[in-house]
Chains A and B, each alone.
Chain A
């Protein structure tokens, strides 16, 4: 009579553990999607089809996702609060880094003395600030159109449509 009860309890405990991982449990690459289409910002450039699976071979989760995947970030500034942070409810970039940046609501929110992250980049800033240094270091494409092709709106914006394009010699060849 007591035995089935115990197995039920164990099963329930396992179920609970599965849905809400506690301390020490972290996501790994198999929990991630194969590709992510980054299109929420595409206007001057085409969307980016981001091969997540390829990037998991080249970088650690925390290199992009900070503490949110449950891997503790060893940056001493972050460790002050996130030493034991578990996996977050969301790991998607756009859920923390906003598409619109420096809009009146965000500017006035900075008056709140309880906010620590007063200097969090917007979505566009977060992508470029995180991707480019690594691309430069690993000799991956680091010029604009190496990751996203320019749209017609982009060509108009950069005034490529006015007349014959300028000397293409030095175009997009800078190194950082």
Chain B
């Protein structure tokens, strides 16, 4: 009889614990509606304006104290460089690169600048198990290199292939990427170095909400000059850096397969049950196991006692 009460109490206790675990789960689901910090900043990149002068690359290099490049920044032979069949990408020495794209039927090539798009709900941040990444209210996705263990999960999580790994250092490996000039400029309300350096005003810096309005106005007033889409308005749940293009985005090698909702949403249901599984299940099943085997043990004990006597 006593045993039965114990089991009932135990089951009641585990139910309460499950309910407690389910409560933060409900909270997590509410976060699916997060639409970014209000008044967060962004940049609208207009591909029709870029002439490929690489001033942005030079400005980034200077602002972030990056190492000297192999070729100076006014050497345009870099546009012909291919590595493993791919155009240049961001790495530990360059947080932004400009690539040339020859578009069939267009008299001149288009140039596309790549850097971190500073997602509203960054996949890199979600994937990082040491919480090295932070999305700041100003809009930047920054990271704390001192806690990074170099697992490179964020490199796989990022839908835009932006975080780069410092392979050159065996003892201080860390992830490196564009930080929106967060510490030197964005906190003071100033535009990032690349935006300021651009002669063509390819990049417009402002509140993300204002930029969307500007983008829509440019499309509305010049319907022949742009495709009717702002890349980054909804891609990956919305990004702080957004793009306008005169040709369909896939022609400029944008990843148009990026889902419209945050990458986080695809793993959230799974991730939210991980703490429950890790904390409650071991206790629950150990308890059940102990209870189920207690009778056997007692019988064994009785037997051994009986055989002794």
Q: What secondary structure prevails in chain A residues at the interface with B?
A: loop
- Assembly CA distance A172 to B207 (angstroms): 34
A104 contacts chain B at the CB level, 8 A cutoff: yes
A157 contacts chain B at the CB level, 8 A cutoff: yes
B108 touches A175 (CB 8 A): yes
Number of B interface residues, CB 8 Å? 45
Residues on A with beta carbons closer than 8 Å to the beta carbon of B206:
102, 107, 110
A107 touches B207 (CB 8 A): yes
**CB < 8 Å: which of A119, A132, A159 contacts B204?**
A119
B70 touches A119 (CB 8 A): no
B210 touches A170 (CB 8 A): no
Q: A interface, how many residues as a size bin?
A: 35 or more
B51 touches A132 (CB 8 A): yes
B3 contacts chain A at the CB level, 8 A cutoff: no
Residues on A with beta carbons closer than 8 Å to the beta carbon of B77:
166-167, 169-171
A125 touches B199 (CB 8 A): yes
The 6 closest A-B pairs by CB, nearest first: A125-B201, A166-B71, A104-B189, A166-B75, A102-B205, A170-B77
A107 touches B205 (CB 8 A): yes
5 A-B pairs with C-beta separation under 8 A: A102-B204, A157-B59, A159-B68, A175-B108, A176-B108
B73 touches A102 (CB 8 A): no
A30 contacts chain B at the CB level, 8 A cutoff: no
Interface residues in B69-84 (C-beta closer than 8 Å to A): 69-77, 79-80
Residues on B with beta carbons closer than 8 Å to the beta carbon of A122:
201
Given A110-B207, A124-B199, are A171 and B191 neighbors across the interface (CB < 8 Å)?
A: no
- Assembly CA distance A121 to B58 (angstroms): 22
Q: Specify the chain B residue showing the minimal Cβ separation from A161.
A: B72
Interface residues in A148-176 (C-beta closer than 8 Å to B): 157-160, 162-163, 165-176
Q: Specify the chain A residue showing the minimal Cβ separation from B192.
A: A102
B157 contacts chain A at the CB level, 8 A cutoff: no
Interface residues in B106-156 (C-beta closer than 8 Å to A): 108-109
Residues on B with beta carbons closer than 8 Å to the beta carbon of A7:
none
Interface residues in B231-277 (C-beta closer than 8 Å to A): none
A171 touches B76 (CB 8 A): yes
Given A104-B189, A119-B214, A172-B74, are A129 and B68 neighbors across the interface (CB < 8 Å)?
A: no
